[in-house]
Amino acid sequence: MEMILSLTRARAEELRLLIRDSAERERTSSFVIEGPHLIQRALESAPERVKEIIFTEKALEENRTVHNQAERKKIHCFHISQKLSEKISDTKMPQGIFAVVEMPDEDMNFPPAGILIALDDVQDPGNVGTIIRTASWFGVERIFLSTGCADPYSPKVLRATQGEIFSTKVGKRGGLENFLRILQKKDWQILAATISPAACSLYKMAFKANVALVLGSEAHGVSKRVLDLCDGQIMIPKYGEAESLNVAMSAGIILSEIMRKSG
């Protein structure tokens, strides 16, 4: 077994900054995941992007399988003290195992058909993470984000994805309107989920084979500038007394109906 080197205090401080600062993640094109489940998913789905794994002594004993996988894939492993682990983590109960992962390369290649999602200023990390997780369940290949969305590589979003950040391509924040214009030229059906009385009922909408679903912010919905790029609006009919639906829950309902109609 390869000897595990101790992580330097300076490197630990760099990881702490990477966890807490989106600008640092953007600058380095990397992010940190914590916990055996997320790291296991990364090793399964994107091992070439995992650059190093850090263990406390206790975490190493409890996660020998992860360490063995890392060794086989020639991923650098480091030891860290429990005290430094607690300083790095943003959780109240650190799990003592971290990995540094490279962000995927941004690409402009779109599938010829299928479902894409565009998020317009969805700011709650839990919602963004749950939408990514739900999208993966329904086979969505790409998710686009406006500048005002929660950082998809922040710890709270990553935890909410339950590892599905590695199975669905999530673009960096920004350029949403440009992406939608490209989809227009490629004859994608761009539909915004709204609560407008003029919107078509989800259950009456005829969907094309290539659909881009636009979901807006929790407080304001889809912005006018984005709405102007859409072909139409859809709404989930209300039957009860609830004032509103959570945007992540709405995403699941709409995706389920699109898939049902596509057969």
Average pLDDT rounded to a whole number, residues 180-206: 95
* Rounded average pLDDT over 220-233: 96
Q: Does some domain include residue 108?
A: no
The answer to whether position 107 is within a domain reads no
261 pLDDT above the threshold of 60: yes
Alpha-carbon gap, residue 117 to 164, rounded angstroms: 15
- Is the pTM here over 0.85, yes or no? yes
Residue 98 is assigned to a structural domain of this protein: yes
Domain boundaries, position 52: 5-102
Domain shared by 61 and 145, yes or no: no
Whether residue 19 is found in the same domain as residue 88: yes
pLDDT at 26: 94
Same domain membership, residue 76 and residue 126: no
Which residue's entry shows tokens 């077994």?
Answer: 1
Please state the φ and ψ torsions of residue 77, each to the nearest 5 degrees.
-120, 145
Neighbours of 208 (CB within 10 A): 14
Model confidence pLDDT, tens digit, residues 35-75 = 999 999 999 999 999 999 999 999 999 999 999 999 999 99
Sheet of 5-6: strand order equals 5-6, 76-79, 50-55, 97-102, 30-34
pLDDT above 90: residue 221? yes
Do residue 91 and residue 217 come from a single domain?
Answer: no
Among candidate residues 102, 122, 146, the one where a domain is terminated: 102
CATH number at residue 39: 3.30.1330.30
Strands 189-193 and 210-216: parallel
pLDDT band at 108; cut points 50, 70, 90: low
- pLDDT of 1 reads 43
If asked whether residues 25 and 89 sit together in one domain, one would say yes
- Are both 131 and 252 inside the same structural domain? yes
Q: Which of 102, 122, 147 is the last residue of a domain?
A: 102
Number of domains in the chain: 2
Amino acid at 32: V
Closest to 145 in 3D by CA, of 112, 172, 107: 172
The domain that contains 120 carries what CATH number?
Answer: 3.40.1280.10
Same domain, yes or no, for 70 and 150?
Answer: no
For residue 121 the two structure tokens come to 């200023």
Closest CA to 77 of 57, 107, 93: 57
- pLDDT-derived band at 13, boundaries 50, 70, 90: very high
Residues 130 and 57 in one domain: no
State whether 148 and 224 are in the same domain: yes
Tokens representing 176 are 């949403």
Q: What are phi and psi of 213, to 5 degrees?
A: -95, 125
Angle in degrees, CA 246, 232, 203, rounded to 5: 60
Instruction: Evaluate whether residue 109 is within a structural domain.
Output: no
Same domain for 148 and 70, yes or no, is no
Cβ–Cβ under 8 Å, residues 54 and 78: yes
Structural domain contains residue 42 = yes
Task: Say whether both 43 and 148 belong to one domain.
Answer: no
Res. 2: pLDDT tops 60: no
Residue at a domain's end among 56, 80, 102: 102
> What is the average per-residue pLDDT within 164-193?
94
Q: Do 34 and 123 belong to one domain?
A: no
